[in-house]
Amino acid sequence: MNGSGPRPWGLLRDALTSLNGQRVATAVSVIVVAGMATAILATAGLAVASERKVLERLNSPNARQIVVSDPKGSAGLRAETVNSVAALPGVDWAIGLGAARDVSNAAIPGGSRVPARLFMGNLPSQVRVGGRQPLPGEALAGSAAVAVLGLADEVGGVSGDGVSAAVVGTFTALPPLQDLADGVLLVQPINDVPIRTLRLGVSDVQQLQSIAEAVLAVAVVGKPEDLRVDKSAEIAELEQDIGGELRQSSRRLVWLILVAGIVMVAVTQVGAAAQRVRDYGRRRALGSTRSAIVVTVIAQSAVGGLAGAMVGALAGLVVDWLVAGALPGARFAAAVVLLCILAAVVAGVPAALRSAWKDPVRVLRVP
């Protein structure tokens, strides 16, 4: 190892030094690659950003809910099913509900009535409790049911239709469980009461079908044929269709832009290499290997590609934000930068091979 440093660093230094000798070609490469990155992010990136916004709307809590019901009350769906379903991968929460029964304020004979349902499982984050958690045999009144029942201080008792329980708190419910707020939830005191409705939320709307099948597989039920499964199948299919079409369109655009950019950069690099053919011939005559010339030319192209890709990516992200009000994501932007740099490297290969395989004797021959 001499004072010029390790060979790779020496090649990189030669490549950077050579950039001063072909400023116009380097500037053109930077502009082309920057335009390529900007075009990809302003077209395919914009499609990805728009897709993310659409899929976020489709992936709403209501769309990600599965409801397994026993309309006739004959299926015999057991309470232990709730815990089995809640443990499935991709399931965020699961609750079981018994048959609805009408109850009224125990202190107001003949008062207004609301539905009361036996509740099985752990309360999900969508159900926010005000007051203490109920014990078996106690109840929570929904925010809309409190006024109907006329509960003083939001506590009291409810009774009716064979049900009697102390209300120890209230709850508010967020989608997709907002419909529960018009009634009373009774904590299941025993485990042998059948479930009439099993409700669960999944992490991703695309998992609806697979999780629905898994729920039926783990359910403890006497007559599975009497169960009815309701899910947003149309929304899941719509999400897949939108995502698939946008992704295919984005891929086609990216490849077209990349091919056009590679051709333009390759032409620029070949022209620049032709202007420096005597310089490369002199290096070959002084002992430089063909591989050293190839690395030098490709490194020049890569440096221009890096600068152009960074500038173009920034410009493309600005366009996406101004037009769609959203960004395609850091991974997509990083992939575009990497693709543009690789495109610049590929575009530099023809010029590198042409320069390295020139006969130095013929190049340096004085006419």
Secondary structure class of 352 (helix, strand, coil): helix
Average pLDDT score over residue span 142-165 = 88
Q: 209, 232, 255 — which closes off a domain?
A: 232
Residues 50 and 168 both lie in one domain? no
Looking at the structure, tell me whether residues 208 and 70 fall in a common domain.
Answer: yes
Q: Is residue 97 in some structural domain?
A: yes
Q: Are residues 129 and 212 in the same domain?
A: yes
Q: Which of 201, 232, 263 is the last residue of a domain?
A: 232
pLDDT digits (tens, 9 = 90+) for 101-116: 999 999 888 889 999 9
Each residue of 229-240: pLDDT tens digit? Answer: 887 655 655 555
Q: 3 or 161: which carries more pLDDT confidence? A: 161
Q: Are residues 243 and 228 in the same domain?
A: no
pLDDT confidence bin for 201, thresholds 50/70/90: very high
Does residue 223 sit in the same domain as residue 292? no
Are 305 and 226 contained in the same domain? no
Which comes out higher in pLDDT, residue 298 or 235? 298
Same domain flag for 15 and 73: no
For the cut 50, the answer to whether the pLDDT of residue 75 exceeds it is yes
C-alpha span between 165 and 209 (Å, rounded): 38
Q: Are residues 225 and 250 in the same domain?
A: no
Q: Are 271 and 25 in contact (CB under 8 A)?
A: yes
Mean pLDDT, residues 50-58 taken together: 68
In a domain? residue 1: no
Count CB atoms within 10 A of the CB of residue 244.
Answer: 10
SS3 for 162?
coil
Distance CA 137, CA 190 (A): 9
Are residue 94 and residue 192 in the same domain, yes or no?
yes
Q: Distance between CA atoms of 52 and 46, rounded to whole angstroms?
A: 10
Query: Is residue 243 located within the same domain as residue 316?
Result: yes
- Whether pTM > 0.85 for this model: the answer is no
Examine the fold and report which residue of 177, 202, 232 is the final residue of a domain before the chain moves on: 232
Overall number of domains in the chain: 2
User: What are the structure tokens assigned to 73, written together?
Assistant: 């009350």
pLDDT at 2 over 50: no
Is residue 2 a part of any domain in this protein? no
Same domain, 190 and 150: yes
Residue 243 pLDDT more than 60? Answer: no
What range defines the domain where residue 80 resides? 65-232
3-state helix, strand, coil in the chain (%, to 5): 55, 20, 25
Q: CB under 8 Å to 304, separation ≥6 — which residues?
A: 19, 26, 29, 30, 33, 265, 344
Residue 181 has pLDDT above 60, yes or no: yes
